[in-house]
Structure 1
């Protein structure tokens, strides 16, 4: 068992409610430390450098870059001793990468473009092992991406306007959620369904295994929870 010092070992470097809910539903103990980064500036610099080098960034590389930046920032801000997980997601449609719409106008335009169609959702994961070597820390820092196809319902203009008016799509990748008000508008997912909310549990299991941690070792103490429920 990893030495957690009495608290969660995993630190999620994200403000995403979907990622937190995914870990919570899987009974994976974790702390959260959202970080405030200028994602547009980070991507602009990376895209410029890549284009100058003659090797434009793919969508899977862009989400991995932002996931790494988040994990690194959270590691620097934390008290140490964690395994830090950063994540980021983007939707790719017709070769164009779509992040957070941020405004109602952009969200509406995107939904009118993607309705009735299938796009690819890319979710980047970056893990930093910031544990003390005496507690099994490896110092490893590495990442991987998970992708899945998402098919959208052929929404009417009225449905799009109503959804955009809720404000939900403005701050999420691709302008949609599957675990919120956008759920009725998703007709199919081909691939890892957890990737749609930005955190692939199978991929997390694989990455933790690379630093010698079984995902089952991060589960909550269910026996203690059961005893508490009985009281």
Structure 2
């Protein structure tokens, strides 16, 4: 595989790539993430994932570059990362006892070409107590996460059900990422280690 670059500073995305046996470099992309006027959430996350991948790929045209973006949608509103503890509390109060959508796009750029996929996952929260919302916000975990929670962290106890891709909610849809790499001629399983016994 040509050198793989993850165009994201997210430690969660890096952990997911390591989980499927990939080696890569990290080079976050610097792009404007402002939603366009009348832009749908699906178009927004896909556009950002593609722009991130293409931004870094322009510097490294010979390498494969993965970009990704995640948005939490509740009542047709995009919930970004909370900027204050008060915003985090408000987001969690809104998500309490309801179902929201997590939209995650992944894009793979190489030699000026770019392929992308969007994954939609339904996540349902149980009713949250005011005290646990305060404790969760005080932990600091919500502050760098879309929608104000991390399903793979402390916030996992709030989730009563999930319909769709768990890894996409964490930040990177692994199945779709593997498909894009395979379509580019680099199936993930080619890079998995094997024991000597399995090689006989």
TM-score by length of 1: 0.78
Q: Is 1:176 aligned to 2:149, yes or no?
A: yes
1:71-220 aligned within 5 A: 71-78=53-60, 80-130=61-111, 139-219=112-192
Counterpart pick for 2:6 among 1, 5, 12: 12
Q: Partner of 1:203: helix, strand, or coil?
A: helix
1:102 shift after superposition = 2.1
The runs of 5 or more residues in structure 2 that have no matched partner are none
Q: Deviations over 1:78-106 (max 9, x none)?
A: 4x432100001001111111111122111
CA distance in 1, matches of 2:191, 2:77: 37
Q: 1:77 to 1:172 in 2, by over 3 A?
A: farther
Larger radius of gyration: 1
Q: How many residue pairs end up in the alignment?
A: 196
Q: Partner of 2:62: helix, strand, or coil?
A: coil
Q: Deviations over 1:157-215 (max 9, x none)?
A: 11111111122111111111111121111221101111111211111122122222212
Q: Deviations over 1:113-138 (max 9, x none)?
A: 111111010001111014xxxxxxxx
Question: Which 4+ stretches in 1 moved above 4 angstroms?
Answer: none
TM-score by length of 2: 0.90
Q: Is 1:21 aligned to 2:15, yes or no?
A: yes
The runs of 5 or more residues in structure 1 that have no matched partner are 48-55, 131-138, 225-231
**Aligned alpha-carbon RMSD (Å):** 1.8
1:144 shift after superposition = 1.4
CA distance in 2, matches of 1:89, 1:65: 11
Higher helix share: 1
CA distance in 2, matches of 1:77, 1:155: 46
